[in-house]
Structure 1
């Protein structure tokens, strides 16, 4: 390559770099100017007062949980139609409080075809300590029939609730 040609390429490259530098400088100046204009022209929003209120609602039904028994109650927040929410409660006693205790819930549905209880929903949990009041909130949607809740803890007998009917 000749010296004249190299100088021409170098000069055109320098010219392109200068054009890019000027364009970047112009863009940065425009951005800074626009940001300053936006900040200067914005006015703070007026303060709004928010009032919070609370209403005390009496408990109409009190479920007392006890060891060896599962109580089940329908919740008032159940969905419309055939969507019902329930709360099951019991007390689980841990024979060795130094160790964790695992337990499991099972919602069983009566099958008239097999004449047996069939698992519908399950959940598992655990805790550390001597005893704990445990609670589970299963939801049954669009499946009427007879149900019961079963609670099984490690090395203990399964405790079953009374059966209850879900209807639409």
Structure 2
């Protein structure tokens, strides 16, 4: 009889340990999600810029393209081994009020055939102070072929969208 109650006690201790580990994992996940939600809830800075664009196709040599205010160019860098592709988006931003800071964001969007909509793949935020800025952003896509486009947005201005381009392995 003593061995049977000892086995039940040992089984109960194992269950208690499993329950404690599960509770700690749940608490850690909840704390992580709470911190993530808090970090994403910060309001965006209130700045504005006037942007316009002429859509251009992806080219093999981004450095050879001439930049001008109101245009966005997307070029592919030399391919890396495997299915890793790096693209460079460039534009010249003009600040209508050179005394204020302009905040802007780049977004790489991927076409979702099932949802039939563009979905955010990568995002980057930046800004500058002054009258003009040559903005450049490198986005790397690894092992995810499909249709993509680059979007540039500044608060108070229309979002600029590039032509779509295909990434294949």
TM-score band w.r.t. shorter chain: 0.5 to 0.7
If asked which structure has higher relative contact order (CA below 8 Å, sep 6+), I would say: 2
Q: Does 1:123 align with 2:124?
A: yes
What corresponds to 1:82 in structure 2? 83
Question: 2:62, 2:73 → 1: CA distance?
Answer: 16
SS at match of 1:137: strand
What corresponds to 2:13 in structure 1? none
Offset from partner CA, 1:74-107 (integer Å, 9 cap, x none)? 101x321210111100111111110011010000
Question: 2:165, 2:147 → 1: CA distance?
Answer: 6
Could you state the TM-score of these two structures normalised by the residue count of structure 2?
0.61
Question: 2:135, 2:154 → 1: CA distance?
Answer: 11
What corresponds to 2:50 in structure 1? none
SS at match of 2:64: coil
* Mapping for residues 18-167 of structure 1, pairs under 5 Å: 62-76=64-78, 78-167=79-168
SS at match of 1:73: strand
Number of residue pairs matched by the alignment: 109
Gaps of at least 5 residues in structure 1 are 1-58
Question: 2:149, 2:70 → 1: CA distance?
Answer: 15
Larger mean Cα displacement after TM superposition, 140-149 or 59-68: 59-68
CA contact (8 A) 1:104 1:123 kept: yes
Structure 1 position 125, deviation (Å): 0.5
CA RMSD of aligned residues (A): 1.6
Question: 1:71, 1:95 → 2: CA distance?
Answer: 22
Question: 1:60, 1:101 → 2: CA distance?
Answer: 25
Structure 1 position 61, deviation (Å): 5.4
From the CA coordinates, give the structure whose radius of gyration is larger.
1
Structure 1 position 161, deviation (Å): 0.8
SS at match of 1:143: coil
